[in-house]
Amino acid sequence: MAISFSLEGKGALVTGANTGIGQAIAVALAEAGAQVALAGRSEPAETLERIAATGRRAIDIRADFASIEPVKRVVAEAEAGLGQVDILVNNAGIIRREDLLAFSEEDWDAVLDTNLKTLFFLSQAAARGMAARGSGKIVNIASLLTFQGGIRVPSYAAAKSGVGGVTKAMANELAPLGVQVNAIAPGYIATNNTAALQADPARSRQILERIPAGRWGDPADIAGAAVFLASPAANYVTGHVLAVDGGWLAR
């Protein structure tokens, strides 16, 4: 049997795709053949332009994932625009930094709601159609903090640990229905979110010394993993958290 990474004829919904990792994933899915719905708070103008250059169609769905309020509407709009949602990539997320002893309930709830609660209920909404058709792929964006505790980001560590757990829980129930659920745990990727770390010579040096690959990751490094997990080549991969970290966790 030929191994296929093609996403020809598939409809993909990607959250938080206006920049960085989400943008790279959305464009890579289009390059692999998918039509893509982009869901987020701001207009993903550059992402739309880059997908158009691939010859694939993209639609813009405006939604704030700070709560589960837009979840059903987002899936309905994606299904209406694409025909169906075969692939869901849960990339949207936020982070709040503060010393543990001063960390607020507001910052705790904001991160858990966006990064874990909404991720689950959006997956649930998309999975209903996937299960009815007997096929589908859900790819969650986890983190190195799915495995580690981090510093000054307790709610983010809790949420991303939860992403690892809920990925496995969803995989257990959806695999018999033909739906694979996996996660990607990015390492230190050169994006806007890590700009301050990159600009700090001491911290950047410490990070690079820990990474066997000796470089910051590029969003395209994550995009390749997402295309694999969304493709037929990964039909027997489910419940897995794939670290794409240049070897950070192996150190």
Q: How far is 204 from 196, CA to CA, in rounded Å?
A: 9
SS (H, E, C) 188-249: CECCHHHHHHHHCHHHHHHHHHHCCCCCCECHHHHHHHHHHHHCHHHCCCCCCEEEECCCHH
Residue ranges per structural domain of the chain? 11-191+219-243
CA–centroid distance for 145 within its chain: 14
Report CA torsion sign: 96, 190, 195, 248. Answer: positive
Query: How many angstroms separate the most distant Cα atoms in the chain?
Result: 57
130, with CB counted inside 10 A (0-12, 13-18, 19+), is buried
| pLDDT tens-place values along the chain, 251 residues long | 688 999 999 999 999 999 999 999 999 999 999 999 999 999 999 999 999 999 999 999 999 999 999 999 999 999 999 999 999 999 999 999 999 999 999 999 999 999 999 999 999 999 999 999 999 999 999 999 999 999 999 999 999 999 999 999 999 999 999 999 999 999 999 998 888 889 999 999 999 999 999 999 999 999 999 999 999 999 999 999 999 999 999 99
Among 155, 121, 150, 154, CA closest to 138: 121
Token output for 111 = 């991160």
Strand partners for 12? 36, 87
Length of the chain equals: 251
Q: How far is 142 from 91, CA to CA, in rounded Å?
A: 8
Options 3.40.50.720, 3.40.50.2300, 3.40.50.620, 3.60.15.10; which CATH number does 11-191+219-243 get? Answer: 3.40.50.720
Contact 18, 43 (CB under 8 A): yes
Residue 242: per-residue pLDDT: 98
Residue 1: per-residue pLDDT: 65
Alpha-carbon dihedral 65, 167, 223, 71, rounded to 10 degrees: -20
Known active-site residue 156 = yes
Q: Please list the helix, strand and coil fractions of the chain in percent, rounded to the nearest 5, in that order.
A: 50, 15, 35
- Beta 35-40 vs 58-62: how paired, if at all? parallel
Contact 14, 89 (CB under 8 A): yes
Q: DSSP secondary structure string, 38-97?
A: EEESS--HHHHHHHHTTT--EEEEE--TTSSTTHHHHHHHHHHHHSS--EEEE-------
Catalytic residue among 16, 125, 155, 156: 156
Residue 2: per-residue pLDDT: 80
**Which amino acid is present at 33?**
G
